[in-house]
Structure 1
Amino acid sequence: MAERKHGIPAPETDSTVYTEDWDREIGERDRHDRVAFIGLDLCETTLDGVKFESCTFRNARFNCSTLRDVAFVNCTFVGCNFFEARFTDCKLVGSMFDRCSFEIMEVDGGDWSFVGLPGADLSSATLTGVRMREVDLTGARCQGAVLRDVDLSGAWLHSADLSRADLRGSDLSALDPTTSEIRQAIITAEQAVVLAIALGVQVRDI
């Protein structure tokens, strides 16, 4: 399993829930703490205002799900599928993703600060207006991804591939162009100055 930042261990869980348990009654609750969800099938499900804290999701399927104002705080996702899942104003602070799939995932707003996405394939994902402070994108594959108006301040971007990604409006102050791939990325003139300064270039008016 991929390690969390600074080697912080995943939180322990106190109970286990399977799809049949979720369908019977567990799914009606609006808060879940320290629960291990195993093989949960949430395909095409809509979740609104539910809070999960220190939970673990293993081999869960969120395909084509709609999540609005849902909180996954300090949660762990292992082998989960988020194909065409849509997150709107969700909070995932401190959560960790390991060997998950994110094809055509959309994220609109919300707070994904301190999230662990090392090595994640986000190449077909669209993230707009998201707060992702100190997110771990080490080695992430974001070729052609849309990361617009994203707060990436303090992000871990070493070896991340951002080639052809649309980065307009995002905070790139933590991006080191010498350790990340950014060829053909789409940025604004203001962002170009930030990257030039990171390269040690002196930017002056004529």
Structure 2
Amino acid sequence: MPPNSPPRAAPGSTVRHHDWEGADVGGGEFTDVTFVGADLSEVTTTGTVFTGCTFQDVRFNASAHTTTAFINCTFRGAVFFDTLFDDCKLTGSSFDRCRFELMRATGGDWSFVSLSRAVLDGTRFERVRMREADLTRSRLREAVLAEVDLSGADLAGADLSGADLRGSALGSVAGLDLPGTVLRGARITIDQAVVVAEAFGMDVRAD
């Protein structure tokens, strides 16, 4: 098997330091596999399914994923520099000590993800479902969250300085009214301003 081809991994197995840089992965399923120190730089996946997998110190630099699913996966120390997720499903996945510079997500479902304390400055989430996502104490300075469904998400203590939140559902977001949440310079529409004001307990009137 060429060194940069996708590994063959039985459910529950561990794959260490596998180099599949630049590989084109179409389909395929991985269940409860632990990837340690793997290089997935410039990899493209289409319709691949990872369920309950762990990615420890894995590099996803400049990789592109289309309709791929990372369901209930755990990412520890992973690097997502310039990574693209297009219409992907990351439901229930958690991220710990990961790097996200220039990461982009378009469409797809990121509901129930745990991004607590994540540094997401300058990332882009567009038309993504992030229902009940844990974004507590995350840093989203100058990030784009455009037309994102944040219903039930928790943003307590998050730093949204200069973030673009236009078109996103903010009605049931938790933590916007807490002192530790920073919204300085965040961009929203008039309609969203009413929603946020009501979250702060204001009585919004037309006159």
TM-score, normalized by the shorter chain, greater than 0.5: yes
Per residue, is there more helix in 1 or in 2? 1
SS at match of 2:91: coil
Instruction: For residue 178 of structure 1, report the CA deviation from its aligned partner.
Output: 2.9
Instruction: For residue 199 of structure 1, report the CA deviation from its aligned partner.
Output: 1.2
Kept in 1, the 8 Å contact 2:61–2:83? The answer is: yes
Which string of whole-angstrom CA distances, capped at 9 and with x for unpartnered residues, describes residues 151-171 of structure 1?
001001110001110000001
Corresponding residue to 1:39 among 37, 46, 49: 37
In structure 1, the partner of 2:154 is: 156
In structure 2, the partner of 1:182 is: 183
Hey, what's the Cα distance between the residues in 1 that align with 2:97 and 2:178?
A: 27
Which string of whole-angstrom CA distances, capped at 9 and with x for unpartnered residues, describes residues 16-51 of structure 1?
01244868xxx6770000000111101011111100
Kept in 1, the 8 Å contact 2:27–2:45? The answer is: no
Corresponding residue to 1:78 among 76, 79, 89: 76
Hey, what's the Cα distance between the residues in 1 that align with 2:47 and 2:129?
A: 19
Hey, what's the Cα distance between the residues in 2 that align with 1:118 and 1:158?
A: 10
CA RMSD across the alignment? 1.6
In structure 1, the partner of 2:206 is: 205
Structure 2, unaligned stretches of length 5 or more? 1-10
Change (3 A) 1:78 1:204: same
In structure 1, the partner of 2:64 is: 66
User: Which AA in structure 1 matches 2:163?
Assistant: A
Change (3 A) 1:51 1:193: same
Number of residue pairs matched by the alignment:
191
In structure 2, the partner of 1:5 is: none
Moved more, 172-181 or 188-197: 172-181
Structure 1, unaligned stretches of length 5 or more? 1-12
Calculate the TM-score normalised by the size of structure 1. Answer: 0.89
Instruction: For residue 133 of structure 1, report the CA deviation from its aligned partner.
Output: 0.2
Calculate the TM-score normalised by the size of structure 2. Answer: 0.88
Q: Once the two structures are aligned, what percentage of the paired residues are identical?
A: 51
SS at match of 1:32: strand
